Amino acid sequence: MIRVAIVEDQESDIIILKKILHHFETAEGEMFQITLYHSPLALLEGYRAVYDLIFMDIELPHMNGMEAARKLRKLDTGVLLIFVTKVAKYAIRGYEVGALDYVLKPLEYYSFVPKVRRAIRYINLNAEKYITLNKDRGQRRVSLRYLKYVEVKGHYLTYYTVDEEIVARGKISELEQKLEMENFARCNNCYLVNLRYVTGVHGQILELGSIQLPISRTKQSEFLNRLTLYLGGDIKI
C-alpha cells in the first residue's frame, strides 16, 4: 500500500489524477491510499509524516506550491514530491525543494506512468523497516519510518512515533547499535533521534518540528557529522 496525498484545487484535475492512479493500480498491480487536500494550508496544518508520495499543484490559492514545499521540507525531509503544473519553468525549480519529478498539465496517462514508476522504485528501495519491541503482554512492531525519537528512563525506553508513545524495557546503547545504519543518532545520553525528522539545529538545541531536545557537548561533534552526512550538506548552527 502506497500512501499518496494530492494537493490540488481544480476539481477537474483531481478527477483526472485519481482516474490515472486507479488505472495504474489495475495495470501495474499497485495499491494507493489517496488523501485529498484542496489547499497546501490544509496539508500543512497538523501535518504528520505518513505519506510516501505527494502530488502538488504549483498554482494554488493562498500559498503557491513552491512555498508550500519549502514549509513541507521543514516537517518531512523524506516524502517524495511530484509537482503538477501547466508551466514547465516553474516545475524545474522544484529541484530546489527536493522534488523527485514534475508532470505537465493537461494530465495524460502515458506521460504520467513513467513518473509514478520512478517514484515506486524509489519507495521500494527504501522499503519500510520495523523494530520489534518486547512488551509485558507480547511483542509490538514499530515502523522506523514513523519513529521520531527514543528516550531512556531508567530500565525503560519510550518510543515517540508520529501517532503515539510506546514504553518497553530496553537499553538505549543496544538500540543505538541496532539502528546505526538506519539514520538514527544520539544527541545526548538520553535521546536517540531519527535524522529524518530533524528540522533545525540552534547551538545545542535540536528541533524536531515543535519538539526541542538538548545536544550534549560530548555528543555534539559526532551527531552533527552524522546529520551533515544524512542531509548531504553543511549544517548551520
Q: 3-state DSSP call for residue 107?
A: coil
- The predicted structure's pLDDT at residue 231: 78
- The predicted structure's pLDDT at residue 69: 93
Which of 125, 123, 112 lies closest to 27, judged by CA?
Answer: 112
pTM of model > 0.75? no
How far apart are alpha carbons 98 and 83 in whole angstroms? 11
Can you tell me which residue has the cell 509514478?
A: 116
At 216, list the grid cell: 550534549
At 74, list the grid cell: 521543514
Location of each CATH 3.40.50.2300 domain in the chain: 2-125
CATH superfamily of 2-125: Response regulator (3.40.50.2300)
CATH architecture of 130-231: Beta Barrel (2.40)
* CA neighbours closer than 13 Å in the CB half-sphere of residue 59: 10
User: Contact 139/132 with Cβ under 8 angstroms?
Assistant: yes
- The predicted structure's pLDDT at residue 237: 47
- The predicted structure's pLDDT at residue 160: 97
- The predicted structure's pLDDT at residue 155: 93
Q: 3-state DSSP call for residue 218?
A: helix
Location of each CATH 2.40.50.1020 domain in the chain: 130-231
User: Which residues in the chain show pLDDT less than 50?
Assistant: 236-237
Segment 182-233, tens digit of pLDDT: 899 999 999 999 998 999 999 999 999 899 999 999 999 999 999 998 876 5
Which of 213, 22, 189, 215 lies closest to 112, judged by CA?
Answer: 22
- The predicted structure's pLDDT at residue 201: 93
How far apart are alpha carbons 118 and 148 in whole angstroms? 27
Edge-first strand listing for the sheet containing 2-7: 32-37, 2-7, 53-57, 80-85, 101-104
